[in-house]
Structure 1
């Protein structure tokens, strides 16, 4: 599911939760991220001691033409990702942590297999309590995702989706990028972010927050010639995030001290209301 989608569908919000396991640390960097206001040279210097996938952060003051930022973009083609099932298909799959043995049996995976560990991690991510001010839901079908989005925006609101787009093809995942055009804010009072999860079939972890957030489209040029139209998400209030969140350790800041921003991988989605033409 990629590119632009303009639809007006229904939503029935459903309570969901979020937890984490070892197999999902990289996902966490893309779900609840924080920005440290440190020099980018310091970040680059420290990357040899860190997983490069942590390099998705930047500050609001970095958001200017000519700014150089080291960024990790996983090169996963959204068109090759598992597709969301139809609701009637998804409803036949036992999607809950307590049903994990039946789920493994359903897909013929052993309990110690990598697939089993990924499914256990995903189910845990979906079932832990949300943080204060957050509403979340794990969508296993296109209909359920659109239901959730409509519930966030209102029954009569139309909406569209924005995604990060690679304008050139390469295998480089981590390099320096330069902002070569004025970042464009997508004006929206509320937005819904949906992140791909590790599972046997397509599952999206979707959530939105009552606190202020901002979404931007940013044109980037890589040092190897790559060009990316990137989606960036800025969290203006992190005061309710856990102090133990890995991003705070990586970026060396405290919850609620600074607005924090991060880039979205190409197969993650941000839903926003469609501006009225009236």
Structure 2
């Protein structure tokens, strides 16, 4: 009798542990897989502090505050996404290396200032940069894994997706959904392994499958934000991160909920770069340097700004605050 009771209790414990493992909150999942890797601010900003998801209403009910917060981005119907160019089949992201720059991007000073040459990455270099507060695009947060997995992310399921997220057809928000999915489905450049992740768990799983579990996630951190473009100087303390030139970088996409374009690229270096602004602002910036740009579009924004050709010199850029880079320790 004791023998059978012991096995019944053991079985129930296994069931409970297995079930809990499947519904772990994102923060606990992170700690279970990456116990020695602190979660950067760029990721914590994408997590709901409390509450639960109501699939019927497509809302996140925040019981901690006693109110209701929309789980997907507001303003995705009439006029939604007006801050983003919605041209079909073209990406305005400077981090998509397959596309040529638009004329408007060449006059977009914050975007232009992102790029510089690796030889400039040293104490005393002056750069004109802008670190603004998170925009409406960054209000999109991670859905629980189970919910994210229940929503298709495919170009042949767009109509279902729009209905699921309560987004009207023909709106700018609907076009943004189509564009983002299309960009995620495109084949990457040679040597690139990519995946658009729709939950924190899937981002962790993709990264660890490429780099292993001994990894560190870092993001750019700004002491104070400013809407003005100003001069920054690289302070002392530039450090190269990671043991190998293999990294996974995750860029925030424009979507109703948090979706990150994660890609593993070789021949890539990551640096921690301290910046000091003329107004006294201090930034712990993350810079990524690509030592092989031979597969990039020759008309990419970086080449037009820096006046260099693909595959000739390492090209670097700073990561915005809502992007994450993973390096092997």
User: Is the shorter-chain TM-score for this pair beyond 0.5, marking a shared fold?
Assistant: yes
* Residues 1:142 and 2:200 are matched in the alignment: yes
| Counterparts in 2 of 1:236 and 1:173: CA distance versus 1, 3 Å | farther
Indicate the structure (1 or 2) with the bigger Cα radius of gyration.
2
Question: 1:177 maps to which residue?
Answer: 232
Partner of 1:239: 294
Provide the C-alpha distance between the structure 1 equivalents of 2:31 and 2:288, rounded to a whole number of angstroms: 20
Partner of 1:201: 257
Q: C-alpha distance in 2, partners of 1:70/1:101? A: 43
Segment of structure 1 superposing worse, 101-110 or 245-254: 245-254
Moved more, 188-197 or 258-267: 188-197
Change (3 A) 1:153 1:48: closer
Runs of 4+ in 1 over 3 A off after TM superposition: 5-9, 20-26, 30-33
Structure 2 counterparts to residues 118-267 of structure 1, below 5 A: 118-154=176-212, 157-167=213-223, 169-189=224-244, 190-210=246-266, 212-267=267-322
**Secondary structure at the residue paired with 1:91?**
helix
In the TM superposition, residue 74 of structure 1 has moved relative to its aligned partner by 4.1
C-alpha separation in 1, matches of 2:157 and 2:120? 46
Could you tell me how far apart the structure 2 residues matched to 1:140 and 1:239 are?
30
1:73 aligned to 2:73? no
Query: 1:264 and 1:7, CA in 2 relative to 1: closer, same or farther beyond 3 A?
Result: farther
How far is the alpha carbon of 1:102 from its aligned partner?
A: 1.4
Distance 1:8 1:158, change over 3 A: farther
Is 2:142–2:259's contact at 8 Å kept on the other side of the alignment?
yes
**Counterpart residue number, 1:50:** 107
Cα pair 2:123 2:236 within 8 Å, conserved = yes
Provide closer, same or farther for how the CA distance between residues 230 and 224 of structure 1 changes in structure 2, counting only shifts above 3 A: same
Partners of 2:159 and 2:258 in 1: CA distance:
19
Q: Which residue of 1 aligns with 2:18?
A: none
Structure 1 residues 192-225: Cα deviation after superposition (integer angstroms, max 9, x where no partner):
0001001111100000113x11100111011222
Match of 2:328 among 258, 264, 273: 273
1:40 aligned partner:
none
* Counterparts of 1:197 and 1:170, CA distance in 2: 21
The C-alpha deviation readout for 1:48-95, integer Å capped at 9, x for no partner, is 9611222201112211212111124343179x6332222211111121
- Using the size of structure 1 for normalisation, the TM-score is 0.78
* 1:208-264 deviation digits (Å, cap 9, x = unpaired): 113x11100111011222210000000001112222433323333211011000000
Query: Gaps spanning 5+ residues in structure 1: where?
Result: 10-19, 34-46
**Contact 2:105-2:112 at 8 Å conserved across structures:** no
Give the RMSD, CA atoms, in angstroms: 2.8
Q: Which moved more, 1:65-74 or 1:136-145?
A: 65-74
Conservation of the 8 A alpha-carbon contact between 1:149 and 1:192:
yes
Alpha carbons of structure 1 residues 91 and 83: separation in structure 2 relative to 1, 3 Å:
same
Match of 2:119 among 58, 61, 64: 61
- CA change 1:244–1:64 in 2 (3 A) is closer
Instruction: For 1:195 and 1:188, locate their aligned partners in 2 and report how far apart those are by CA, in whole Å.
Output: 22
Rounded Cα–Cα distance in structure 1 between residues aligned with 2:301 and 2:235: 30
Contact 1:195 1:268 in 2 (8 A): yes
CA contact (8 A) 2:86 2:172 kept: no
Q: CA deviation at 1:7?
A: 6.2
Structure of higher RCO (CA pairs closer than 8 Å, 6+ residues apart): 1
